[in-house]
Structure 1
C-alpha cells in the first residue's frame, strides 16, 4: 500500500519512418506494447522522458495511434491511488490545469506524466506542442515546461501514496549549449517541498545529451542538485536500463533508451527495455522488461584484410566476385542470427508458429588494401538490393569505409611545431599574437599566403575582434595569386610553384616595407529584427552578413583598367588605392572662372586627369559639401558640350570620356548656360605657362573654391 510503481520509458519516436512500406508501423506498435505493459503490470503511473513523437507536428496517423493506445490502457474504473499534494496550476497549464485523474468528467486509472524532447518541442503560433493536445484531451499530464531557457525554475509535482512521498521533477529539452550556460550562470532554480524535506523521494526526468559530444554540448550530472535520488535520462537511444550510481552526486541514473531504432548504429543494436520502478519510502527497486515487438537488429564490423577466406585476394585484379560472395555469406548469417534472437525472447505459444519480422542488418566493411593492391567492392545499394524480401532496410545493408590516416598525418604536423624551448618562452600573457603566429609559421611551409600578412590578419582577428579579417585576407591573397599567374603568360606548368613562391616573397617584402595595404575592414549589413543571437548565433559570424557591394567591384575594375600594371605609383594611384576608395563626383575640379587655365584643350585634358585624382577622395562630409556647390561643374559643362573648332580628335574623345565619368557620378542633371566668366577665363589664360603642382598642394582637404595651379600634364602630348 506504500509502494509507488512507475513504468519508465523514453524516446518512443512515434511516426518515425512511417512512410516506409516495411517499417512504417514499428514506432507506434512499440509504444502500444509499452502502454499494454503498464496495464498488465497494474502500475500506478507511467513516466515518459521526452520524444513521444518523432516530429513536433505529428501526422494524423501518429496522433491517432497514440490517442488510441492511451485511451485503451489508461482509462478505466480502477481508482488512482496517488494523491496530489502540490498546487497543480504551477505545473500544468491550459484550461484544465490539474492532473487528469482528478477531473470529475473522466476516469483515469493510470496517469501518464511526460516532458517534451527535442523532436516534439513546442513551436508555431501559441507555442504549443503535440503534448498540449494530449493534455487538453485528458490523456496525459504534460509537465516540466521550460518557457524561458535562460531563466529556468523547476518545481516538483508532489505525489503521495500511503506513507511514500514522491517529488517528481521534470525539465524538458533545452538546447544543450544554452542550458550549459544557464546552469553555469546559476540561473536554474530547483524548488523543494516546504515540509519534511528528508522524507521525499526525489525523482527527476531530463532530455539532454548525456555524453560530452562537445565542451558545452551536454548536461553534466554534476549540474543536477545533490538531493536527487534517481534521474531518468532521455534523449540517448542506447539502452542502459540498470541503475548506475554516481558516487560524486550520490544519486542513481537510469537511461532506458529508445523503443525503436532510428539509426543503424551500435547503440541501437542493444536489446530494448523499459523498467518498472518500485518506490517505498526513500528506497527503490528497478525491474527491467525487454520489449518483444521490436524489430530485430544485428550489426557487425569486419576488416577485409583480416578475413581468412580473402587472404591475399588483394593481389588479384578481378576480385569483386569473390569479395561479394564472401560478404553475402556474412549477411545471410546475420539474418539467421537476428531471427533466432527474436524467437528466443518471445513467449511460447502452443500450436502457433511465429513468423519473425524482417530484421535490420548492418555490415560495416573496412576495405583498405595493403600498398600495391586493391579491393574491388560492389556498389553498396546494388549489394543491399540482393536481400529484398529478407531484410527491412533494403537500401543500406552494407557500409564500406577506409581506414582513417588522420592520426598519422597529425603526428607529422606535430613535428613541425616550434622547439619546446621556444614554446616555453612564449608566455601567452606577455607575448604578442604576431610573434606567436610567426614562431608557429616559421616551422611550417606556406606557398600562397604571405607569412607576415598572415600574422597581421590574426592580430586583427584577436586584438580588434574583426571576425572577417582572416576570411578577407585569404580571399584577397588567393585572388591576387590567381591574377598574377594569369598575367604571367610565359609561366610553364612546372614553374607555377616557383612563381607562386616568388610572388609570395614579393608581397612579404612589400608588407615589411609598409607599401602593402592592410586588409579592408569588413562592413556588415544591419541585423534583421527577427534575428535571435542566442538561437541563430552571432550576426557577424554569418557569411551573408558581409557586404559585397557592386560599387566596390566597379571601383576595383576601374583601378585595374585605367592604370597600367607596371606604371610607378607617383601620386598614390593604382589598383590598391582605387579599391579602397569610394568614387566621388568630379566637382573637385577647379572652376574655370578663377582664370589662368590657358587653352580650351588644356582645360579638357586637365579635367581628364583630374577625374583620376578625384577617385582618391574618401571623406563623406567633404563630398556632401562639394555636391551642393555646382559652380565648378557649371563652368566645365559647356566646354564639354560645345568644344572649340581647334580641338583635336584626341581632345574630343577626352571630352566624351570626362562626360561619361561625370554622368556616372550623378552630376549630369546640373545643366547650366555658358557664363561670360568662363569665356573670359579662357581668353585670359592662353598665354600663361602651366606650373607643376607639388604633392603637398594636392590634398583631399582642398576646398572646391581654392585656387589650384594647372599641372604640367595638361601640356604634355597625349597623342
Structure 2
C-alpha cells in the first residue's frame, strides 16, 4: 500500500499579496502532481489545509479546482475499507482518495460546529475525519484499509487545544476502538498538536502515545523531520508546512512530502523535497553601534540572497545606537527580495534596571486576563471553557455570532434537561418544568389576564374622566356663586 503524507498546506496564505499570493496553491499542486505521478493509493492530510478558519471564495475556488483536477478520473481502487470514503460514491469518479483532519487554523466552529473541510467532505472531494464532540471521552475509531495481505489501521484525531488534550491523556480519557486482531494491522496515528514543549502541558509528548502504533504522524509543527522512538518502537514523521508562514528558525529548513510504502508490517519511508517552496535566507548580525549601519547591513543582505525573489530575514542585535527605518532600507531590494519592507528585525539592548516582572508585561494576552477573571468568578449558567471558546471564535476566527450561538445552545441544552429530568445542576429549574410543558396554556391565560387588565384600565380611565368632569362642574358652580355673592354685596 502506497500512502502520500502532507500537512499544513495553509491554502490562501497571503492570497492578496502580488508576489506571495500563489505560493500556497503552487506547492499544493506540486504535491498533488507527485501523488498522481507516484500512483499512490491514498493521500493523508494532517491538518491546516486552509490558512484561516473562513477561507475566502477565491481560496475555496482554487482548492476545489485543484482537488477536482487531480482526484477525479478513471482508476481502479483496490482498497477495501470499513468506512465510507469518497470513491464509494457512485456519482463521483474518484481516482485518488484523500483523508484529512482539521488543524488549529481550520478547526470547526460557529453554527453547527462546522469546518471548511466539512464543505469539501460534503462535495465528495475529501473524507474529513477526526472531529471530537466529547472531550470527557475521546474515542478514536480507526479507518481500516486492506489491499491483498496488507492491513492498515488509521487512527486520526483533529486538533484539540494542547492543554485539554494533555490533561485528557493524563486522566485516561483517550481510548482507541481497535479491532480484535489489531496486531495484524500496520497501525498509524495522525494528530495535529505541538510535539515540542513550548510551555508546560501545552504539547503532546511521545510518551503519551500507545506503543501499539507503528507510525505516528505529527501535523502542526512547521519543521520537516523524521525520527525513531527507541523506547516505544514507533517511527515518527513530522511533515512540516509546505509554505513558509513566518520568518523564524522553524521555517529555515527545506520542505518535504513523504510517501510510505507498506507491505504487511514492514514499511519504507521516501522523503521527497518540494521544489516550488519560496527560499528563506536567514542570518544574525551583532553591531556595536549605529556607525555606518546602513552600509554594513546592505553588504550583509547582498551576501544572503539566494534564489529568485526569496524571503530574507536578518536579525540585528544592536548594542548601542538607534535602529534605521526598515522600509527605507528595504526599498533598494524591492526587485530582488520578496519581503523587502520587512528584511530587518532589530533587537536593542534593554536597560538593566528594568525589572523582570515588567519584561513579562508584553507577553500578557487579553485572553489570559479574561481567563483569569472568569476563573475567579465561578460561572454557574455558562461553563468557563465554553465561554472562552466563544471568546476565541469571536476574536480570532471572526465568528460574529459566537456568543449568540453559545447562548442558543445553552438555552436548548437547559430546556432539554428540564423537560427530561426536571433538574439542572447549574440552575434549580424544577418549578419551571410544568410552565414549559404547559406553555400554551400559560400563554392563553396570560392573554385572558392581559385582556381583563386592559378592560379594567379602560373602565378606570372612563371613571376618572367622569370624576374630572364632575369636579370641574362643581368648581365652576362654586365660582359662579362666589361671583354672584360679590356682585350683590357691591350693589348694596
Cα 1:181/1:406, change in 2 over 3 Å: farther
Question: Of 337, 359, 376, which aligns to 1:391?
Answer: 337
Greater C-alpha Rg: 1
After superposition, the C-alpha distances for 1:605-634 in whole angstroms (9 at most, x for unaligned) are xxxxxxxxxxxxxxxxxxxxxxxxxxxxxx
Q: Which has the higher contact order (CA 8 A, sep 6+)?
A: 2
Give the match for residue 205 of structure 1.
190
- Identify which of 5, 19, 24 aligns with 1:22: 19
Q: Hey, what does 1:35 align to over in structure 2?
A: 32
Moved over 6 A (4+): 404-410
Post-superposition offset of 1:395: 2.0
Distance in 1 between residues matched to 2:223 and 2:380, nearest whole Å: 41
Q: What stretches of structure 2 of length at least 5 have no aligned partner? A: 357-368, 392-492
Alignment correspondent of 1:325: 295
Partner of 1:286: 269
| 1:377–1:126 Cα change, 3 Å | closer
How far apart are 1:81 and its partner, in Å?
A: 1.5
Go from structure 1 to structure 2 and tell me whether the alpha carbon gap of 1:9 and 1:526 turns closer, same or farther (over 3 Å shift): closer
Query: Residues 384 and 245 of structure 1: is their aligned pair in 2 closer, same or farther, counting only changes over 3 Å?
Result: same
Question: Residue 230 and residue 526 in structure 1: after superposition, are their counterparts in 2 closer, same or farther (change >3 A)?
Answer: closer
SS in 2 for 1:139: coil
> Residue 119 in 1 paired to residue 102 in 2?
no
Q: Residue 122 of structure 1 contacts residue 129 of structure 1 at CA under 8 Å; is this kept in 2?
A: yes
Once structures 1 and 2 are overlaid, which stretch shifts more, 245-254 or 41-50?
245-254
2:228 maps to which of 238, 245, 248: 245
- The alignment status of 1:400 with 2:370, answered yes or no, reads no
Q: CA deviation at 1:36?
A: 1.2
Aligned to 1:365: 316
Superposition deviation, residue 326 in structure 1: 1.2
SS state at 2:99 partner: strand
Matches within 5 A, 1:409-488: none
TM-aligned CA deviation for residue 382 of structure 1: 2.2
Match of 2:237 in 1: 254
1:136 aligns with 2:122: yes
SS of residue in 1 equivalent to 2:199: coil
When normalised by structure 1's length, the TM-score is 0.50
User: Over residues 508-565 of structure 1, what are the superposed CA-to-partner deviations in whole Å (9 max), with x where a residue is unaligned?
Assistant: xxxxxxxxxxxxxxxx87848455336629x9xxxxxxxxxxxxxxxxxxxxxxxxxx
Answering whether residue 41 of structure 2 is matched by residue 44 of structure 1, we say yes
2:210 to 179, 203, 225: 225
Q: Indicate whether 1:334 and 2:304 are aligned.
A: yes
Q: Secondary structure, in 3 states, of the residue corresponding to 1:395?
A: helix
CA distance in 2, matches of 1:406, 1:74: 60
Shift of 1:125: 0.8
Q: Residue 57 of structure 1: CA displacement?
A: 1.0
8 A contact 1:150–1:178 mirrored in 2:
no
How far apart, CA to CA, are the structure 2 residues paired with 1:106 and 1:18?
30
CA distance in 2, matches of 1:531, 1:256: 36
Q: Distance in 1 between matches of 2:11 and 2:157?
A: 21
The correspondence of residues 234-633 of structure 1 with structure 2, limited to 5 A, is 234-240=219-225, 242=226, 244-305=227-288, 314=289, 320=291, 322-335=292-305, 338-339=306-307, 356=308, 358-368=309-319, 374-403=320-349, 527=379, 529-530=381-382, 532-533=384-385, 536=388
Deviation at 1:299, TM superposition (A): 0.4
Q: 1:148 & 1:198 partners in 2: Cα distance?
A: 28
Provide the rounded CA distance (Å) in 1 between the counterparts of 2:355 and 2:11: 44
Q: Could you tell me whether the CA contact under 8 Å between 1:75 and 1:108 is conserved in 2?
A: yes
Q: Contact 1:380–1:400 (CA<8 Å) still a contact in 2?
A: no
Distance 2:282 2:377 in 1: 50
1:434 aligned partner: none
2-structure distance, mates of 1:44, 1:218: 32
SS of 2:183 mapped into structure 1: helix
- Report the CA distance shift for 1:406/1:15 in structure 2 as closer, same or farther (over 3 A): farther
Query: Does residue 173 of structure 2 align to residue 187 of structure 1?
Result: yes
Equivalent pairs counted in the alignment come to 375
Quote the Cα distance in structure 2 between the aligned partners of 1:177 and 1:140. 29
Task: State yes or no: 1:161 paired with 2:158.
Answer: no
What is the distance in 1 between the residues matched to 2:114 and 2:354? Answer: 51
Provide closer, same or farther for how the CA distance between residues 535 and 282 of structure 1 changes in structure 2, counting only shifts above 3 A. Answer: farther
